[in-house]
Amino acid sequence: MKLFPPTSPRPDELFLVRTVFARRIDLYLPGWESYRLTADATVRYLRLLGVKDPERAVDLVWGLYAVHVDVGNNEFTVVPKSVVDERIADEHANKAVTAA
């Protein structure tokens, strides 16, 4: 895992996921590149992307465990963690098929 996500190119969307009792948030960029950040670092990153009210996104993920962030529209959607897990598994399966 890399230390801090890139701000360029600016992602259109990302997912924030917190595992139960975890102290850090997993941030997934398009392509499912992931970063494990503190709540403060997550807020800082979302601000760098121009997201309005990044604290709300972090509060949602802290209480509900998975949030889809639409960076362009500044919208947050709570999603089941299983949806994120399925999308990650699909991406890995697609990469395995293309590599073969």
Output the CA torsion 36→42→46→51 (10° steps): 120
pLDDT at 92 over 90: no
Tell me the CA distances in angstroms from 69 to 9, 58, 73, 94, 97, one per residue in order. Answer: 16, 10, 9, 23, 28
Confidence band of 1 (pLDDT split at 50, 70, 90): low
- 3 state SS of 30: coil
What's the pLDDT tens digit per position in 50-79? 999 999 999 999 887 789 999 988 899 888
Which class for 87: exposed (0-12), middle (13-18), buried (19 or more C-beta within 10 A)? middle
Cis status, amide bond into 9, omega within 30 of 0? yes
Residue where the block lists tokens 């392509």: 31
Alpha helical stretches, state H, 20-100 = 39-48, 54-64, 81-99
pLDDT of residue 9: 82
Q: Report the chain's mean pLDDT, rounded to a whole number.
A: 87
Q: Per-residue pLDDT averaged across 34-50, rounded? A: 94
- The answer to which of 12-26, 32-46, 79-93 has the lowest mean pLDDT is 79-93
Q: Per-residue pLDDT averaged across 12-30, rounded? A: 90
Domain ranges of the chain: 13-99
